[in-house]
C-alpha cells in the first residue's frame, strides 16, 4: 500500500476489562492531524470470548478498512498478588503442607496456563484472520506487550505487518500517510516475509498531546461509555530515568521524562468528570511523581484541577522523594484516593533493588501525608518480598516499618500487598539471575513451560517457604471480611521470624547479597 489510507479499524485485543487509554490517545492524535480519515475502535475485551472471532470477521468484512491496527496490552501477565487467584495457586502448589491442596493447585495452574497459551495463540489468529479477509490491508500491532516483545511478535505476524514499539502516535500517523516516511520505532515484516527494524531517531513531543476530544472518541468507539463508571486512564508524561532492578517501564517508555501540558491534562480530567460523569482517574504514567521536575509538573496539574474544581478520586504510582507539605495538601484536596507505592523497609533492600531513595525520607513523607490532610485513604504497599538480597533481618525491618505505618495511619488503612518480583527481559535482575545460574542464559521469557513460568516468579528458598507458609496460614485462618490477607501474612511472618531456629536456618541458606547494579539518584 503506497497511498494514504482512508480508513482504519483499531482492534483492542482481549484482556481483563480496563480502559484502553493507549489506543484512544493514538486515535485522537491521528484524527487531529488527519480529520478526513475514517477511524473506528472495536474493543474485543468487551465482547464475550465465544463471539470474538465472529464479531471481528463481521467488522472486517463490513468495513473493509485500509489499515487494521491491533492494540495488545498484556502478553506475559504473571504478577500474582492477593487480588489474583494465581498467587494462591503458586503458593499452594509449591508450599502447602497438604497434598490435596497441592493437587488442586496443580489442576488450577494447568487451567491458568491453558488460558495464557490460548489467549496468545488466539491473538495471532486474529492477525491471520485480518490478512485472510483483507489481503491488501496493512496490519499494524502496537501496545505495551508488543513494546517488550516486538521481535517475537513480528516473527509470528502475517506479511505486511508493522509492529510498533513504544509511542504509537507518530508511527501510526506515518502509516496512515502511506508509510513512505516512517516514524517511531518498529519492526516491519514485508510482503516477502523479511523483517527489518527501524530505531527511533526522533523523540515524540508529548506537548503535542492536547486534551483528548472525547466527543470524537465517543463517536468512533461504541464501548467508550461502558468504561465511564470505572477508572479512566489519563497520561501526564512518559519515561522514567530510574532503573529499579526488576523494572522494564523505561524500556517501554524511554529513560527521558517527557511531559504533557498540565492545563491540557487537567482539561481532559475536567471533561471526563463534568461531561461524562467520570469519578475515578488513574494517572497511567510509569511513575506519576518521581523526580524533582516531575513533582513540580504534578503540582501544576493538581493546581489546574483544583482551579477547575474537578470532583474525581485519582490514583497513580508514586514515589515520595520530593514531597512537600504544600503538595501533600494539594494531593488530598484534589482527590488522591490512596497512596500506591513500592515499599521495602530496609535501606539495604532499597539499595540492592537500586530503587534510588532514602528510607528515612520515605518515612518522613508518610508523616507529611498524615499531617497534611489524610483522612481515611488506604496506604497500599507493593512489596517486592524476597527479592535478591532479602534476609530474615531485612524482612524483619520491613515488618517493623509496616508496624510504624499501622501506628501512623491506623492498621485498617495500611495494605501490604504480598507479591514477588517477576523476572522480566532486559532488566538488571534478569542479568543477575542468569549470572548466578538461577536462569539459563538462553531461557525464553515467553515460554509456555509451567515450571519455567513459575521460576520467573522469584521467591526462592529459604525465605520463600517461610513467606508462603505465613501466607497460606493467613488464607486458611483469617476472615477476609475483618482482616486483610497481607496484614495477617505479615503478622504470621513476624511470629515465625522471631523463632531463633527459623532465623538461623534462613541465615545458613541465604544466597549472597546482590551487588547494586547501578544507583539511581
Ligand atoms: C498504569 C498501568 C496499570 C494500571 C492501569 C490503570 C488504568 N485504569 O488504566 C493498573 C495498576 C490497574 C494495572 C494493572 C495491571 N497491569 Co499494568 N501497567 C500499567 C502501565 C504502568 C501503564 C499502561 C498504560 O496505560 N499506559 C498509558 C497508555 C497511554 O500507553 P500505552 O497503553 O502503552 O499505549 C501507547 C503505546 O503502547 C502505543 N499503543 C498502544 N496501542 C496501540 C495500538 C497501535 C495500533 C499502535 C500503533 C500503538 C499502540 O501507543 C500508545 C500511545 O503512545 C504499564 C507499564 C508501562 N509503563 O507501560 C503496565 C503494564 C501494561 N501492566 C502489566 C500487567 C502485567 C498488569 C496486570 C496484569 C498486573 C497484575 N498482575 O494484576 C494488571 C492487569 C490489568 C488488566 N485489566 O489488564 C504489564 C504487561 C506486561 C506484559 N508483558 O504483558 C505492564 C507492561 C507492566 C509490566 N509488568 O511490565 N496496570
Ligand atoms: S521508578 Fe523504578 S519501578 Fe518506577 S517506573 Fe521507574 S524504574 Fe520502574
Per cent of the chain over pLDDT 70 is 96
Cβ burial 136-157 (10 Å sphere, 16+ → b, else e): ebbbbbbbbbbbbbbebbbebb
Contacts of residue 489, defined as CB under 8 A and 6 or more positions apart, other chains included, come to 416, 418, 467, 470, 471, 474
Residue 520's pLDDT is what?
A: 30
CA of 74 to the centre of ligand 1 (A): 7
Of 1-15, 50-64, 352-366, give the lowest mean pLDDT range: 1-15
What is the band of 141 on the pLDDT scale with cuts at 50, 70, 90?
very high
Residue 480's pLDDT is what?
A: 84
d(CA 448, CA 117): 7
Residue 519's pLDDT is what?
A: 30
Please state the separation of Cα 319 from the chain's center in Å: 16
Report which protein residue has its CA nearest ligand 1's atom 55.
Answer: 249
Residue 78's pLDDT is what?
A: 64
Element (H, E) at 288: none
Residue 515's pLDDT is what?
A: 40
User: What confidence tens digit (pLDDT) does each residue in 162-190 have?
Assistant: 999 999 999 999 999 999 999 999 999 99
Residue 35's pLDDT is what?
A: 98
For the Cβ of 424 lying below 6 angstroms from any atom of ligand 2, the answer is no
Q: Atom of ligand 1 at shortest distance to CA of 73?
A: 61
Burial class from Cβ neighbours inside 10 Å (0-12, 13-18, 19+) for residue 207 reads exposed
Residue 521's pLDDT is what?
A: 26
Tell me what the pLDDT averaged over the chain comes to.
93
CA of 292 to the centre of ligand 2 (A): 15
For the Cβ of 344 lying below 6 angstroms from any atom of ligand 2, the answer is no
Contacts of residue 11, defined as CB under 8 A and 6 or more positions apart, other chains included, come to 42, 44, 56, 68, 69, 70, 71, 126, 130
144 or 505, greater pLDDT? 144
Residue 481's pLDDT is what?
A: 85
Three-state SS across 391-447? CHHHHHHHHHHHHHHHHHHCHHHEEEEEECCECCCCCHHHHHHHHCCCCCCCCCCCC
- The answer to whether the beta carbons of residues 189 and 159 sit under 8 Å apart is yes
CA of 2 to the centre of ligand 2 (A): 40
CA of 479 to the centre of ligand 1 (A): 32
User: What confidence tens digit (pLDDT) does each residue in 371-428 have?
Assistant: 999 999 999 999 999 999 999 999 999 999 999 999 999 999 999 998 899 999 999 9
Report which protein residue has its CA nearest ligand 1's atom 73.
Answer: 77
Ligand index nearest the alpha carbon of residue 252: 1
Report which protein residue has its CA nearest ligand 2's atom 5.
Answer: 286
- The helix/strand/coil state of 217 is helix
User: What confidence tens digit (pLDDT) does each residue in 25-34 have?
Assistant: 999 999 999 9
User: What confidence tens digit (pLDDT) does each residue in 38-81 have?
Assistant: 999 999 999 999 999 999 999 999 999 999 999 999 987 666 66
For the Cβ of 288 lying below 6 angstroms from any atom of ligand 2, the answer is no
d(CA 406, CA 408): 5
For the Cβ of 249 lying below 6 angstroms from any atom of ligand 2, the answer is yes
Report which protein residue has its CA nearest ligand 1's atom 81.
Answer: 74
Q: Atom of ligand 1 at shortest distance to CA of 231?
A: 8
Which of the listed residues 32, 43, 74, 253 should we mutate to test ligand 1's pocket, taking the one with most ligand atoms within 8 A of CB? 74
Mean predicted confidence (pLDDT) in 277-288: 97
The model's pTM: 0.95
d(CA 511, CA 493): 20
What is the band of 214 on the pLDDT scale with cuts at 50, 70, 90?
very high
Amino acid at each position: 500500500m503506497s497511498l494514504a489510507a482512508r480508513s482504519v479499524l483499531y482492534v483492542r485485543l482481549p484482556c481483563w476489562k480496563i480502559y484502553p487509554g493507549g489506543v484512544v490517545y493514538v486515535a485522537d492524535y491521528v484524527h487531529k492531524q488527519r480529520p478526513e480519515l475514517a477511524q473506528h475502535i472495536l474493543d474485543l475485551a468487551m465482547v464475550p470470548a465465544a463471539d470474538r472471532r465472529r464479531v471481528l470477521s463481521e467488522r472486517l468484512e463490513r468495513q473493509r478498512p485500509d489499515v487494521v491496527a491491533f492494540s495488545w496490552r498484556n502478553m506475559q501477565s504473571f504478577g500474582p498478588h492477593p487480588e489474583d487467584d494465581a498467587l494462591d495457586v503458586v503458593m499452594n502448589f509449591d508450599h502447602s503442607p497438604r497434598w490435596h491442596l497441592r493437587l488442586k493447585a496443580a489442576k488450577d495452574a494447568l487451567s491458568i496456563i491453558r488460558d495464557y497459551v490460548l489467549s496468545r495463540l488466539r491473538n495471532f489468529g486474529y492477525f491471520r484472520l485480518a490478512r485472510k479477509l483483507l489481503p491488501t490491508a496493512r496490519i499494524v500491532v502496537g501496545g505495551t506487550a508488543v513494546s517488550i516483545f516486538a521481535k517475537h511478535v513480528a516473527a509470528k505476524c502475517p506479511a505486511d505487518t508493522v509492529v510498533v514499539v513504544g509511542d504509537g502516535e507518530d508511527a501510526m500517523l506515518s502509516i496512515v500517510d502511506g508509510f513512505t516516511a516512517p516514524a517511531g520505532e518498529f519492526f516491519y515484516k514485508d510482503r516477502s516475509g523479511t523483517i527489518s527494524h527501524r530505531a527511533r531517531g526522533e523523540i515524540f513531543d508529548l506537548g503535542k498531546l492536547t486534551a483528548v476530544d472525547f466527543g470524537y472518541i465517543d463517536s468512533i468507539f461504541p464501548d467508550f461509555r461502558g468504561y465511564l463508571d470505572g477508572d479512566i486512564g489519563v497520561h501526564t508524561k512518559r519515561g522514567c530515568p530510574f532503573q529499579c532492578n526488576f523494572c522494564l517501564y523505561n524500556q517501554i517508555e524511554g529513560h527521558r521524562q517527557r511531559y504533557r501540558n498540565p492545563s491540557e491534562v487537567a482539561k481532559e480530567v475536567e471533561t471526563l468528570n463534568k461531561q461524562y460523569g467520570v469519578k475515578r482517574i488513574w494517572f497511567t504514567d510509569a511513575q506519576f511523581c518521581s523526580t524533582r521536575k516531575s513533582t513540580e509538573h504534578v503540582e501544576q496539574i493538581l493546581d489546574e484541577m483544583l482551579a477547575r474544581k474537578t470532583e474525581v478520586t485519582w490514583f497513580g504510582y508514586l514515589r515520595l522523594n520530593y514531597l512537600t507539605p504544600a503538595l501533600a495538601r494539594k494531593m488530598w484536596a484534589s482527590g488522591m484516593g490512596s497512596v500506591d507505592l513500592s515499599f521495602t523497609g530496609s535501606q539495604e533492600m532499597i539499595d540492592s533493588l537500586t530503587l534510588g531513595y532514602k528510607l528515612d525520607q520515605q518515612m518522613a513523607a508518610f508523616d507529611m501525608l498524615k499531617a497534611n490532610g489524610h483522612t481515611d485513604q488506604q496506604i497500599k504497599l507493593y512489596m517486592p518480598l524476597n527479592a535478591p538480597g532479602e534476609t530474615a533481618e531485612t524482612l524483619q525491618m520491613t515488618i517493623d516499618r509496616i508496624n510504624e505505618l499501622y501506628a501512623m495511619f491506623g492498621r485498617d488503612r495500611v495494605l501490604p500487598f504480598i507479591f514477588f518480583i517477576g523476572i522480566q527481559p532486559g532488566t538488571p535482575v534478569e542479568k543477575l539471575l542468569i549470572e548466578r545460574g538461577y536462569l539459563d542464559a538462553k531461557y525464553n521469557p515467553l515460554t509456555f513451560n509451567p515450571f519455567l513460568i513459575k521460576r520467573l516468579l522469584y521467591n526462592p528458598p529459604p525465605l520463600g517457604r517461610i513467606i508462603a507458609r505465613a501466607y497460606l496460614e493467613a488464607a486458611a485462618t483469617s476472615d477476609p471480611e475483618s482482616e486483610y490477607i497481607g496484614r495477617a501474612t505479615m503478622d504470621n511472618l513476624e511470629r515465625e521470624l522471631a523463632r531463633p531456629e527459623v532465623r538461623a536456618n534462613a541465615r545458613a541458606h541465604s544466597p549472597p547479597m546482590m551487588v547494586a547494579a547501578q544507583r539511581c539518584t
